[in-house]
Amino acid sequence: MAYALQQLINGISLGMIYGLIAVGYTMVYGIIGMINFAHGDVFMIGAFIALITALLLSAGGMLDGPAAILLMLLISMAFTAFYGWTMERVAYRPLRGSFRLAPLITAIGLSIVLQNYVQVSQGARVKPMEALLPGGIEVMRDGGFVVQLSFTQMLIIGVTLAVLAVFTLLVTRTPLGRAMRACEQDRKMAALLGIDTDRTISLTFVIGAALAAVAGTMYLLRYGVIDFYIGFLAGVKAFTAAVLGGIGSLPGAVLGGLLIGLIETFWSAYFSVQYKDVAAFSILVLTLIFLPTGLLGRQEVEKV
């Protein structure tokens, strides 16, 4: 029981990270119907910017306390949001009226460019970072096994819930959110009604990139080791989470992220860790066989 509880805590914290990345996938798909396969590499860049900020703070003797973590988070979000805006403006907007495969091929190429850019600029070796929030609280003890909720896991869960709450309010209660929902329903009609669709799509990429930066910073704080390739596998799993929850559904993206995180941790705990990715993708296949739109996805209605 205690061991299962520990894996539940680990799975929720990992699933929160996947959910934040998956929201970026589902936002872009919901508005322009495109899968941004470079989004995982935006997550990776966010982690690297947070690490560089931590190293600069450490050199200045200021790497201490919640203020340093907040600064890492804000700087990472700002720089990564700029990357998201640049990607949309330079790589995707010129192809918006092109055939459907063009943006997809561009996204894959952009992913390779970002990976190699970070590899050349930061090196191919893994980059470690000291733990900024060591320790935790003891949840329960079963014999010699102690179930612990680390301070980093508490931070991940708290920050993720807060960010998602703010994002939900933005989508449901602000003019930008109404514009995003209008573009999701019918972009041409939204433009005819006076909505600046180009601006709305750009801001969607900016917000998605900022959420990926939050995920990258939390990943760095949780695991303390990153490299230029972490964005590929995390991006694939987050995309799987978005499809599992229902691509285009924001609650579905978070739910899918939690499910992927829990499947990974419980499979690693009770079966072979080498097949944890196979288990996650197998669940995806089974879900799509019986629920083609995902767990919370909506059936697409063709507009005439």
Instruction: Name, in order, each residue with C-beta under 8 angstroms of 114's C-beta and a sequence gap of 6 or more.
Output: 38, 41, 42, 44, 45, 231
Residue 218 counted as domain residue: yes
198, 93 contact by CB (below 8 A)? yes
CA 150 – CA 85 distance, rounded (Å): 35
What mean pLDDT is predicted for residues 251-275? Answer: 89
Residue 294 lies in a domain: no
Residue 62 in any domain: the answer is yes
Examine residue 202 and state whether it is found in any structural domain, yes or no.
Answer: yes
pLDDT score for 247: 81
Question: Is there a domain that residue 46 lies in?
Answer: yes
289 in any annotated domain: no
Confidence of residue 301 (pLDDT cuts 50, 70, 90): low
Look at residue 256 and tell me if it is in a domain.
no
User: Would the CA dihedral through 201, 202, 207, 212 be positive or negative?
Assistant: positive
Residue 269: Cβ-neighbour burial (10 angstroms; 0-12, 13-18, 19+) = middle
pLDDT band at residue 304 under the 50/70/90 scheme: very low
Residue 121, domain extent: 21-231
Question: What total number of domains does the chain contain?
Answer: 1
Max Cα–Cα distance, the chain, nearest Å: 67
User: Rounded mean pLDDT of the chain?
Assistant: 88
Sign of the alpha-carbon dihedral angle for 254, 255, 261, 264? negative
Instruction: Return the minimum-mean-pLDDT range out of 54-68, 72-86, 119-133, 207-221.
Output: 54-68
Whether residue 186 has pLDDT greater than 70: yes
Give tens-digit pLDDT for 241-250: 998 888 878 8
- Is the residue at 66 inside a domain? yes
